[in-house]
Amino acid sequence: MGRIVLEHVGKEFPGGVQAVRDVSLEIGDGEFMVLVGPSGCGKTTILRMIAGLDEVTDGEITIGDRVVTDEKPKDRDVAMVFQNYALYPHMTVEQNIGFGMRLRRTPKPLVKQRVSGAAEVLALLDYLARKPADLSGGQRQRVAIARALAVEPKVVLADEPISMLDVSIRIGILNLMLRLKEERGIAFLYVTHDLASARYVADDILVMYAGQIVERGPIEDVLSAPLHPYTRLLLDVVPDPATGTEGPKIELRKGDTSAAVDPGEGCRFRMRCPLAIEICSHTTPQLVEERPEHAARCHVTAPST
């Protein structure tokens, strides 16, 4: 079962910098969840903690029916797909796809079987003897996805997996991930800056700012009727597909942005938020469900206009 649960998970780096604070989320079996937010807000850190590449400072992580907070990466049923492919240039496509299984000491006949199966799904059978340098960008990304799938994970963590690809290739990769979600019941947590692709693939969306989830809910609800002012800011710069125009602007305050780094108590968006009131400066808002399954972390909820 590809279920992921984070309960009050936090990550503090040396110097008291809270990269992630009190993040709770649940991704169901076969669910596709998108995580959006500005660079440096903690999105990749969350993926790395789920994968076991970064230690958790606070909280607990469960995958399937097992608590994996203290388990090694190789013992978690998780695979990652990175923005930059992360392929080994000296290995063939076949060797790259099988690398994760060899780390897990999977028997050689099973490695061969799974490599062939993943390569067939991703139309790579004709490229197994090639090196990454002999492939296009789209082919390399398919190799990276094949490597992730070959270990038969319960969970795939995708970090900007299509941002470096041509537009013509992106839709094929997105459709492939959706098909694998439906056919194999894999749970996806997908980090992106691209709200258009997020809308295309996601069941639910998490909006993150300065280490905290500030809004979550079904993606159509969040994007059509955002509650948090930061979510509205994100949507302001995305053209309306019906009209080709941008939405109404939310005017940011000209304030110090240092609240995003080791901020103490209070709303982390308060220094730039045009709706901030006195309580925002000293009391951290909680993530509160304002509509069915749609929650926001804001003292002054900002309904869309």
Distance of CA 237 to the CA centre of its chain: 21
- 211 and 236 both lie in a single domain: no
Question: Which structure tokens are listed for 239?
Answer: 């053209």
Name the pLDDT band for 238 (thresholds 50, 70, 90): low
Q: What residue numbers bound the domain in which 291 lies?
A: 223-305
pLDDT digit string, tens, across residues 59-86:
999 998 899 999 998 888 888 887 777 7
- 105 and 232 both lie in a single domain: no
Phi/psi at 187 (nearest 5 deg)? -90, 130
- 201 and 288 both lie in a single domain: no
Mean predicted confidence (pLDDT) in 268-287: 91
- 148 and 286 both lie in a single domain: no
Among 200, 222, 244, give the residue marking a domain's end.
Answer: 222
DSSP letters along 108-156, please? HHHHHHHHHHHHHHTT-GGGTTS-GGGS-HHHHHHHHHHHHHHT--SEE
Among 222, 244, 265, give the residue marking a domain's end.
Answer: 222
- 258 and 287 both lie in a single domain: yes
pTM of the model: 0.84
Residue 28 has pLDDT above 60, yes or no: yes
* Mean pLDDT (the chain, rounded): 85
Structure-model confidence comparison of residues 206 and 264, the more confident one: 206
Q: What is the tally of structural domains in the chain?
A: 2
Among 222, 247, 272, give the residue marking a domain's end.
Answer: 222
- 199 and 58 both lie in a single domain: yes
Question: Which structure tokens are listed for 28?
Answer: 């169901």
- 176 and 228 both lie in a single domain: no
Q: How many residues does the chain have?
A: 305
Look at residue 241 in the predicted model and tell me its pLDDT: 44
CATH number at residue 201: 3.40.50.300
Is the CA virtual torsion 202, 152, 64, 51 positive or negative?
A: negative
Percent of the chain exceeding pLDDT 90 equals 48
Distance CA 252, CA 249 (A): 9
- 179 and 236 both lie in a single domain: no
Look at residue 304 in the predicted model and tell me its pLDDT: 46
- 265 and 128 both lie in a single domain: no
* Contact by Cβ (8 Å): 28, 3: yes
Distance CA 98, CA 52 (A): 20
DSSP 247: -
- 244 and 143 both lie in a single domain: no
SS3 (DSSP) at 215: strand
- 128 and 252 both lie in a single domain: no
- 102 and 216 both lie in a single domain: yes
Structure-model confidence comparison of residues 260 and 274, the more confident one: 274
Mean predicted confidence (pLDDT) in 121-133: 91
